[in-house]
Amino acid sequence: MKKIEAFIRPERLGDVGRALEEKGFVSMTVTDVEGRGRQKGITLEWRASEYQVDLLPKIKLEIIADDKEWEKIVEIIREAAKTGEVGDGKIVVYPVEEIIRVRTGEKGLGAL
Amino acid sequence: MKKIEAFIRPERLGDVGRALEEKGFVSMTVTDVEGRGRQKGITLEWRASEYQVDLLPKIKLEIIADDKEWEKIVEIIREAAKTGEVGDGKIVVYPVEEIIRVRTGEKGLGAL
Amino acid sequence: MKKIEAFIRPERLGDVGRALEEKGFVSMTVTDVEGRGRQKGITLEWRASEYQVDLLPKIKLEIIADDKEWEKIVEIIREAAKTGEVGDGKIVVYPVEEIIRVRTGEKGLGAL
Amino acid sequence: MKKRWLRSLKPFLAFTGGIFYLAAASPAYAQESSINAGDTAWVLASAALVLLMTPAVGFFYAGMVRKKNALSTITMCFIVAALVSIQWVLFGYSLSFGPDKGGIIGGLGWAGLAGVGQAPNADYAATIPHLAFVIFQAMFAIITVALLVGTVVERIKFSAFLIFATLWTTLVYDVIAHWVWATGGWLRALGALDFAGGTVVHVSSGMSALALAMVLGKRKGFGRNTMEPHNIPLVVLGAGLLWFGWFGFNAGSALASNGLAANAFVVTNTAAAASTLIWMLLSWSHGKPGTLGVATGAVAGLVAITPAAGFVGPVAAIAIGAGAGLICYYAVLFRSGRNIDESLDVWGVHGMGGIWGAIATGFFASKFINSAGANGLLFGAPRQLLIQIVAVLVVSTYSFAVTWILAKIVDAVVGLRVKEQEEEVGLDISQHGERAYAVR
Amino acid sequence: MKKRWLRSLKPFLAFTGGIFYLAAASPAYAQESSINAGDTAWVLASAALVLLMTPAVGFFYAGMVRKKNALSTITMCFIVAALVSIQWVLFGYSLSFGPDKGGIIGGLGWAGLAGVGQAPNADYAATIPHLAFVIFQAMFAIITVALLVGTVVERIKFSAFLIFATLWTTLVYDVIAHWVWATGGWLRALGALDFAGGTVVHVSSGMSALALAMVLGKRKGFGRNTMEPHNIPLVVLGAGLLWFGWFGFNAGSALASNGLAANAFVVTNTAAAASTLIWMLLSWSHGKPGTLGVATGAVAGLVAITPAAGFVGPVAAIAIGAGAGLICYYAVLFRSGRNIDESLDVWGVHGMGGIWGAIATGFFASKFINSAGANGLLFGAPRQLLIQIVAVLVVSTYSFAVTWILAKIVDAVVGLRVKEQEEEVGLDISQHGERAYAVR
Amino acid sequence: MKKRWLRSLKPFLAFTGGIFYLAAASPAYAQESSINAGDTAWVLASAALVLLMTPAVGFFYAGMVRKKNALSTITMCFIVAALVSIQWVLFGYSLSFGPDKGGIIGGLGWAGLAGVGQAPNADYAATIPHLAFVIFQAMFAIITVALLVGTVVERIKFSAFLIFATLWTTLVYDVIAHWVWATGGWLRALGALDFAGGTVVHVSSGMSALALAMVLGKRKGFGRNTMEPHNIPLVVLGAGLLWFGWFGFNAGSALASNGLAANAFVVTNTAAAASTLIWMLLSWSHGKPGTLGVATGAVAGLVAITPAAGFVGPVAAIAIGAGAGLICYYAVLFRSGRNIDESLDVWGVHGMGGIWGAIATGFFASKFINSAGANGLLFGAPRQLLIQIVAVLVVSTYSFAVTWILAKIVDAVVGLRVKEQEEEVGLDISQHGERAYAVR
Ligand SMILES: Nc1ncnc2c1ncn2[C@@H]1O[C@H](COP(=O)(O)OP(=O)(O)O)[C@@H](O)[C@H]1O
Ligand SMILES: Nc1ncnc2c1ncn2[C@@H]1O[C@H](COP(=O)(O)OP(=O)(O)O)[C@@H](O)[C@H]1O
Ligand SMILES: Nc1ncnc2c1ncn2[C@@H]1O[C@H](COP(=O)(O)OP(=O)(O)O)[C@@H](O)[C@H]1O
């Protein structure tokens, strides 16, 4: 089992969510985060002057996925999240040791 | 060492926190997230009409635990978080390579 | 590749971010979380009385790093985040299996 | 789907216009000879100010509950404004101020505001349109019912609240308003002084809140889970608007734009200030001077000066305000030590503050300030103090008892509380199908 | 950098003071003999109340959009207050109320408020300073333009909005205000009744909103992405302040502090209450009684009573309010079923509410209430109903058509919409360089 | 626990009522013959409007600080309302307006408002109760002190602020108010014009803010850490309520409900609008037209018209407003380029706006507008301009110097700043034991 973690643009969340759902991958968890990377920060207004903010709002998507499916999911996310401009983000994959469904106590694949 | 990540209902947080504390597991980190899965979304009101929201508020609990204790912790969380209805969530376990306490620089078990 | 996850005090975020940037490690993701551990909770006022809150605001920093650099990064964070008082937090390191840049599809080191 | 009974209302609603219209066919003709434009301007402005106090109470309370119940709290206050406004026009005003029946209640002669028009009613206010008096008083009825929201937050069923609120307005508020303020009302005849509603508004809502909390029971997790106020700036917004609106409440109660109104305005501000400072000092001596405490202190001072505003001067106002800070602080502290979930301390602040104010009026009232008033103990008239105490006891007992009975009845018939799971998810979702704040 | 044209304005601005001053050199001298202080107090207080309605609309609307467009929504309303205030002083007041040109428009005789001073103008209000009338009316022009914000949120270019708003105020609002309210205006001469702006304010903005939304097009993701209201307590703050301010709007329109003002005050409150309750019941019958619905219901009732406030009594107000709840509820429901992104239902609430109110005035108006008014159908004058319908049709057609044309022109010249990516990121960042709420 | 000195106050507090009462024993008797109800209605309504400006300033400022200091900012403003209200009744009013001592200060003859009652005081306002004048003026003292909060946010110790505020009100505000406004005050005798507080309120607070910021020092991380405004809708709420309240501030300063009040009302609105538009254009030419900028522009215009409101007409108001936008914009830009942490630009907006307004009054003032005023340079009286400049210099110097000294003393005795760690955690937790917003 794998955990897929994607850092994406907030404005792509709608499309990514829909794309996943259409392909049958409904389950996911979403967190509002802030990030910095290659994309440069934004300039904000303060009354008569301006200032820089380097942390930009991003969305973190977490999906626990079967070993057979994670590559497909990564691809769906990548396509739906892509704008082609710096700041589109990363998708990271981690090993999972165990997963348990709270409601039933099922473990492993059965818990997904 | 393991990392336990639990996605639970917000209204169970109080009980889960208390249950863990009673058994001596105080340390944890809590994040407000949104999730979707088998549980269907909710219908919300908009003036005269209604609309669907598929992301529901959930709580993510993160606990770094000793190899010997993680199973106990998972069990405590599962019991306290359970309502028996769809949407109770999952508990996921990951491998940890290293842990360091910022204050002292201690590593491994000593950092917990 | 590794993932570094640091739970630090909110008021140290500015210094930690600057320290990392100065050493060339710009990329990171930041989440507002709450935590409890050895540090005791705070007492808050309610009109004429008081109550205890055990979850304190913390910041979670996530950085995906090259196998060769993660130790340096951990050290920078540790130094900048440290106050010496209980509650400074932990830094945890996890294995990463894969990383993909959304914009280009590059994988591994090239995606960083 | 399931709410077929509501659907069946629709034809009835369509019919309503027709029926009601008949009653309006002969509204009172305007005879403006004795109307004073300045007095009218002040009373209308005051009525607007008092209306604003109802959303203000909504914000004040909503900021103190958990996020998941914020809308529920605000909406109950907002809907009270609508509900009581209609009740008032249909029969509430008539019950309260209409032709007296034995000192106990007004008759239905003014139901639908029949015969109530643009000309003044000299019994109540000789220099303003009768309708101006009607609407000024309407705002008092509204705010009193809205105060009760503070005791039922986070667990009451919305439908049950609507039913309870309608009954309470009619059987508690209208009755007490008649006793204390109406021509012929028996407490007024006894000589009880209540300039702007210390007993009618605050003692009645405060004591009722206690009874209601006892019948309703504690919130799930009360005393165990943290119940952090979710938005304290919203509480201060409420408190700020309340302070602002209270000038209409108290100085508007002069029903004229004169020296007495100015006096009421000054003492209102002074008592609020004194109480705020005392609350700050007391909470500092026990811990830290919190924002919630300061805002609550201001409200306590405003409550306590309410019955006295037209009878005492600025220095007495300092004493009354300081006393309010002291008494309400310890009342709230006392309550939070008990196992009673009178959630937002309507009893501690309005009940105890109102009692203190009503009794203090019996001490400090002076004919120097208001020749149409009376002297209190300090001006050599201990009898007035006694009358004030009687009024407090009567109003307290009546409102506590009737509220208890009403609450028990509503609970038996429709059930006062939401289901346990609805309470856990929060009333915003479960009762109103909404979330106060979207995630993004 | 790029905005050199703006920079080049600076010397011009420096020059402005000098030029304008000349016009002010001989302001009207104060002749206060006929001024009534009470009437003036009420109209000034009312003008302040109506000013507050513009930020209130800003909060009401901003709470309903997504977080990323909150500031944009508020700022458009706020800047309208500034823009229209200046337009009004420079020429707007003169176009609206200045010396009549053939019943169609006012002349420029009062441009720069030349000759408009502290003495009353008996044509409009004999007992208050002419300047008090000017500023009271200014607030109406402002709020009407601010209402249009509700239809363009989340996608309009800020610069295009400013241009459109200036044109619209001049070519739509000022013209209709002249027709209906100015001495010599042709709809006024026809006998159309509009006490406080049912047609001038609400029908005009509501129908214009529809045209504007059709030219502007749908928000990206409309009907597909969730567009959750981001802060409903902010919506209620707006609604609460609107209810409060509306007393100035309607009762201030008596332009005096008298029985008629009191009547307008009472019916305003009553209609708002009735509409709120009906909306609550209807939405309950279809689902749950939401906060947004209740707040919208209140506004619908306030809209509908606006043209009628000085001509009907409290029982008719219940009928008008209840009708508003019913009609606007179904209008909003109808619109949300179409594919038109008239985003915050300015048409459904203000347009349809205003039409209902204007027509209902033709039913319920009575000389018992206002001897300077007229009788409606129910008092035996079917002709008045016909006149009201004509006024509604004229105002609807004119405002829809002119708005459509203006919107098309502005779109062609500067482009109405932001770029797609700007819309996705949100207007707060892209148009104003700000975020409504910081993360920490 | 540790605050035993506070505890020891309690018996004293209990005693207070008794003592104070004596002073109230013979309040002024009501002689209402000369009271005009309309004037009184307007002044009372205005006093309520000005009171609202203090929480409004709290919201305006609080929205601009970081989340962790939001409550601290609001609470300082709120507590100022309480503190200064009591100071005013006890001795502040007497120092400011009481029987003159050599043009410098009022005597203590009116301490505790002894002899100040419901009858008018013809020296200040012949047609309203003396108490109405007292409370209207009280609100000015309060708001002036509240303005200072903008310069000390995010780092001042709450206890030190309370001490400083009490001293400043007494030694700076009361003194300057006496000089400029009291019968016998030396600047008034000199002929300085200040209709509603350009020098007394804005120059004094603006220049004091600068001195205070210099003594207090910069916030930790100033110029290094991002200090993003945490809630801009809250800022707009503040600005909206300020605009609303300012009608009371300026038009209420006519102390009557007449043509002059209407004039003040119109020019207030016009100047605010002009300044808003100029600020928008200037910030657009440098970047984007932000919400904070627009809101700040409005306040700058309101500040600048304050001293002039009763002496100039609407076209001059456009010039004054536009000038304010220009001057304050560059003042704020200038300050943000320096290394001075005058955090929320009280100097840039109120100081410089007030100076501009006071001087502009010397240009544009005209007896056409106010026969009891004076002519300015443009009406052939250069001397008035000179007097205005003298007044500005005197008030600036006095307030800067005395503030500096007071700040140094308070710093030496109790320490002005919180500990470094308290500053990092935020003043809400460290000073008030609260968090503005709960997580859930
Ligand atoms: N090394 C990293 N560790 C953690 N988060 C990262 C890292 N690199 C990027 N991110 C996240 O991805 C977002 C986009 O990355 P960025 O480098 O700006 O763009 P791109 O991926 O297109 O090159 C960042 O804002 C941050 O949230
Ligand atoms: N595969 C997954 N990846 C990430 N998060 C998940 C996954 N499945 C479930 N979750 C999280 O757990 C929550 C509850 O899951 P759900 O499937 O609705 O209920 P249940 O676990 O009872 O079957 C979801 O809202 C989501 O936050
Ligand atoms: N075992 C753990 N699992 C997850 N988070 C932890 C754990 N221990 C500590 N934390 C996080 O680190 C923060 C600081 O830890 P704490 O034990 O209070 O201080 P210290 O690390 O200085 O001993 C906590 O508030 C929590 O967010």
pLDDT bucket at F29, cuts 50 / 70 / 90: very low
User: E308 pairs with which residues across the strands?
Assistant: none
Confidence at F268, pLDDT banded by 50, 70, 90: very high
Q: What is the pLDDT, as a whole number, of residue E226?
A: 87
CB of E309 within 8 A of CB of E365? no
Residue D199 contacts by C-beta under 8 Å, 6 or more apart in sequence?
D176, D180, D187, D192, D307, D354, D358, D391, D392, D395
Residue A44, chain F, CB below 8 Å: the answer is yes
According to DSSP, residue E156 is labeled: B
Candidates A31, A36, A86; nearest CB to C103: A86
Q: Which atom of ligand 1 is nearest to the CA of A58?
A: 27
Chain E residues with beta carbon closer than 8 angstroms to that of C10: 440
- The finding on whether A28 has its CB within 6 A of some atom of ligand 2 is yes
- Cβ of A82 closer than 6 Å to ligand 1, yes or no, is no
Q: Which residue has the tokens 């998810």?
A: D425
Q: How many CA atoms lie within 13 A of B62 on its CB side?
A: 19
Ligand nearest to the CA of A28: 2
Q: Is the pLDDT of residue D21 over 70?
A: no
Q: Whose CA is nearest to atom 12 of ligand 1?
A: A89
State which ligand 3 atom lies nearest to the alpha carbon of C58.
Answer: 27
Q: What does the pLDDT read at residue F275?
A: 98
Query: Does A37 contact ligand 1 (Cβ within 6 A)?
Result: yes
pLDDT digits (tens, 9 = 90+) for F331-357: 999 999 999 999 999 999 999 999 999
Query: Which atom of ligand 1 sits closest to the CA of residue C3?
Result: 3
Chain D residues 410-439 with CB within 8 Å of chain A = 439
φ, ψ of residue C36 in degrees (nearest 5): -140, 155
Residue D25 has pLDDT above 70, yes or no: no
Closest by CA to A63, choosing from B86, B92, B64, B10, is: B92
Q: What's the pLDDT score for residue C90?
A: 98
Residue of chain F whose Cα is closest to the Cα of D47: F45
> pLDDT averaged over chain A?
96
Residue F33 vs residue A21, higher pLDDT: A21
CA of C57 to the centre of ligand 3 (A): 11
Q: Which of E407, E62, E51 is nearest to E242 (CA)?
A: E51
C-alpha span between F226 and A34 (Å, rounded): 14
Q: Quick check: CB of C28 below 6 Å from ligand 1? A: yes
Residues F211-234 have a mean pLDDT of: 96
pLDDT digits (tens, 9 = 90+) for E112-145: 999 999 999 999 999 999 999 999 999 999 999 9
**8 Å CB contact of B94 and A99:** no
- What pLDDT band is residue D23 in, cutting at 50, 70 and 90? very low
Residue C95 reports pLDDT greater than 80: yes
pLDDT at F208 over 70: yes
Tell me the CA–centroid distance for residue A87 and ligand 1, in Å: 7
**Which residue's alpha carbon is nearest to atom 21 within ligand 1?**
A89
Residue D4 pLDDT: 56
Nearest protein CA to atom 27 of ligand 1, as residue: A35
What are the residues facing B51 on neighbouring strands?
A: B44
Judge contact between D424 and E221, C-beta under 8 A: no
Which residue owns the Cα nearest ligand 3 atom 1? B64
Provide, as residue numbers in chain B, all residues whose Cβ is less than 8 Å from the Cβ of A111.
90
DSSP label at F30? P
Number of other CB atoms surrounding residue C22 within 10 Å: 11
The answer to whether F301 and F273 are in contact (CB under 8 A) is yes
* Average pLDDT score over chain D: 94
Averaged pLDDT score across all residues of chain F:
94
**pLDDT single digits (tens) E313-342:** 999 999 999 999 999 999 999 999 999 999
The distance from CA D163 to its chain's CA centroid, rounded to whole angstroms, is 18
Helices within A1-112 (DSSP H only): 13-22, 70-81
Q: E-assigned strands of C1-112?
A: 2-8, 28-36, 42-46, 49-53, 56-65, 90-95, 98-101
pLDDT at D355 over 70: yes
Choose among B1, B2, B10, B112: nearest CA to B61.
B10
In this predicted structure, which of D23-37, D261-275, D421-435, E381-395 has the lowest mean pLDDT?
A: D23-37
Q: Which of D52, D232, D250, D363 to mutate to test the interface with F (most CBs of F within 10 A)?
A: D232
Please indicate whether, in this complex, the C-beta atoms of A10 and D440 are within 8 angstroms of each other: yes
Give the pLDDT confidence of E234-272 residue by residue, as tens digits.
999 999 999 999 999 999 999 999 999 999 999 999 999
Angle CA C68–C69–C73, to nearest 5: 155
Contact assignment for D265 to F62 by CB distance below 8 Å: no
Residue E168, pLDDT above cutoff 80: yes
| Banded model confidence at residue F107, pLDDT cuts 50, 70, 90 | very high
Q: How many CB pairs under 8 A join E and F?
A: 241
What per-residue confidence (pLDDT) applies to D28?
A: 43
pLDDT score recorded for residue F30: 42
Pick the residue whose CA is nearest to atom 3 on ligand 3. B63
Reference A54, options A38, A36, A77; nearest CA is A36
CA diameter of chain C: 59
The answer on pLDDT for B27 being more than 80 is yes
Q: Which long-range contacts (CB under 8 A, 24 or more apart) does F381-390 make?
A: F384/F191, F384/F193, F385/F359, F386/F362, F387/F190, F387/F191, F387/F192, F387/F193, F387/F362, F388/F192, F388/F193, F388/F358, F388/F359, F388/F361, F388/F362, F389/F359, F389/F362, F390/F190, F390/F192
Q: Which residues of C touch E439 (CB under 8 A)?
A: 32
Q: Which residues contact D380 (CB under 8 A, 6 or more apart)?
A: none
Kindly report which listed range (D334-338, D352-356, D390-394) carries the lowest average pLDDT score.
D334-338
Q: Which ligand is nearest to the CA of B58?
A: 2
The verdict on a CB contact (< 8 Å) between E273 and D58 is no
Interface check F26 vs C, CB under 8 A? no
Of the pLDDT bands very low, low, confident and very high (cuts 50, 70, 90), residue E308 is: very high
pLDDT for D7 equals: 52
Query: What percent of chain D clears pLDDT 70, i.e. is strictly above it?
Result: 92
Q: Which residue has the tokens 């990092």?
A: F424
In terms of C-beta density within 10 A (0-12 exposed, 13-18 middle, 19 or more buried), how is residue F202 classed? buried
Residue matched to tokens 């004054």: F320
Token pair of D235 as six digits: 């509480």
Q: What is the Cα–Cα distance from D418 to D194, expressed in whole angstroms?
A: 38
Q: Are B56 and B42 in contact (CB under 8 A)?
A: yes
Residue C49 CB coordination number (10 Å): 16
Distance C60 CA to ligand 3 centre (A): 11
Angle at E221 between CA E215 and CA E227, to 5 degrees: 105
Average pLDDT along chain B? 96
- Rounded to the nearest angstrom, the distance between the alpha carbon of D432 and the centre of ligand 1 is 40
Q: Which of B46, B52, B53 sits opposite E292 (nearest CB)?
A: B46
Q: Is F377 a residue whose pLDDT tops 80? A: yes
E344, E61 contact by CB (below 8 A): yes
State the sign of the Cα–Cα–Cα–Cα dihedral D176, D178, D183, D185.
negative
User: For residue A63, how far is its CA from the centre of ligand 2 (angstroms)?
Assistant: 9
| pLDDT higher than 70, residue D207 | yes
The tokens describing E407, both together, are 């919107």
Contact with chain B for residue A98, Cβ under 8 A: yes
- Residue of chain A with shortest Cα separation from D440: A32
> Among residues F434, F346, F417, F421, which one has the least CA distance to residue F71?
F434
Mean per-residue pLDDT over chain E, rounded: 94
* pLDDT above 50: residue E10: no
Residue E98: the pLDDT is 98
Average pLDDT (F299-314) is: 98
Query: Residue D440's pLDDT band (boundaries 50, 70, 90)?
Result: confident
Q: Is the pLDDT of residue F15 over 50?
A: no
d(CA E198, CA E202): 5
List the single residue in C with minimal CA-CA distance to D345. C47
Residues in chain A: 112
What is D36-432's CATH number?
1.10.3430.10
Residues A61-67: what's their mean pLDDT? Answer: 97
CA of E420 to the centre of ligand 1 (A): 23
Through-space distance between the first and last CA atoms of chain D, rounded to whole angstroms: 32
Helix (H) or strand (E) holding A99: strand A98-101
- SS3 sequence of chain D: CCCHHHHCHHHHHHHHHHHHHHHHCCCCCCCCCCCCHHHHHHHHHHHHHHHHHHHHHHHHHHCCCCHHHHHHHHHHHHHHHHHHHHHHHHHHHHHHHCCEECCCEECHHHHHHCCCCCCCECCCECCCCHHHHHHHHHHHHHHHHHHCHHHHCCCECHHHHHHHHHHHHHHHHHHHHHHHHCCCCHHHHHCCCCCCCHHHHHHHHHHHHHHHHHHHCCCCCCCCCCCCCCEHHHHHHHHHHHHHHHHHHHHHHHCCCCHHHHHHHHHHHHHHHHHHHHHHHHHHHHCCCCHHHHHHHHHHHHHHHCCCCCCCCHHHHHHHHHHHHHHHHHHHHHHHHCCCCCCCCHHHHHHHHHHHHHHHHHHHCCCCCCCCCCCCHHHCCHHHHHHHHHHHHHHHHHHHHHHHHHHHHHHHHCCCECCHHHHHHCHHHHHHCCCCECCC
Backbone angles phi, psi at D51, to 5 degrees: -60, -40
Bridge partner list, D121: D125
Cβ–Cβ pairs < 8 A, chains A and B: 77
C89 CA → ligand 3 middle, Å: 5
Which numbered atom of ligand 1 lies nearest the CA of A55? 25
Helix/strand/coil for E404: helix
Interface probe, candidates B22, B29, B62, chain C, greatest C C-beta count within 10 A: B29
| A62 CA: distance to closest CA in chain B (Å) | 9
If one counts every other C-beta atom within 10 angstroms of the C-beta of residue D86, the result is 22
Gap between the Cα atoms of E362 and B82, Å rounded: 62
Average pLDDT over residues E375-382: 96
Q: pLDDT confidence of F10, banded at 50, 70, 90?
A: very low
Q: Does D296 touch chain C (CB under 8 A)?
A: yes
Which tokens is A16 given? 């990514």
pLDDT of residue D46 exceeding 80, the answer is yes
Domains detected in chain C: 2-111 (3.30.70.120)
E168 burial type by CB count under 10 A (0-12 exposed, 13-18 middle, 19+ buried)? buried
Q: Could you tell me the two tokens for A14?
A: 């709608």
Query: Locate tokens 């440098």: which residue?
Result: F286
Provide the pLDDT for residue F24.
42
Residue C111 DSSP symbol: G
pLDDT at D3 (0 to 100)? 54
Ligand nearest to the CA of C110: 1
Please give the Cα distance from E319 to E308 (Å, whole number).
12
Ligand 3 pocket: which of C90, C91, C94 to mutate (most atoms within 8 A of CB): C90
What was the pLDDT predicted at D26? 39
The pLDDT value recorded for residue E3 is 53
Give the pLDDT confidence of D109-159 residue by residue, as tens digits. Answer: 999 999 999 999 999 999 999 999 999 999 999 999 999 999 999 999 999
Q: Is B91 in the pocket of ligand 2 (CB under 6 A)?
A: no
| pLDDT for residue F440 | 86
> Percent of chain B at pLDDT above 70?
100
Q: Give the span between the Cα atoms of E325 and E300, in whole angstroms.
A: 6
Residues of chain C contacting E438 with CB distance shorter than 8 Å:
none
According to DSSP, the residues that pair with A95 across neighbouring strands are A2
Rounded to the nearest angstrom, the minimum Cα separation between A24 and chain F is 32
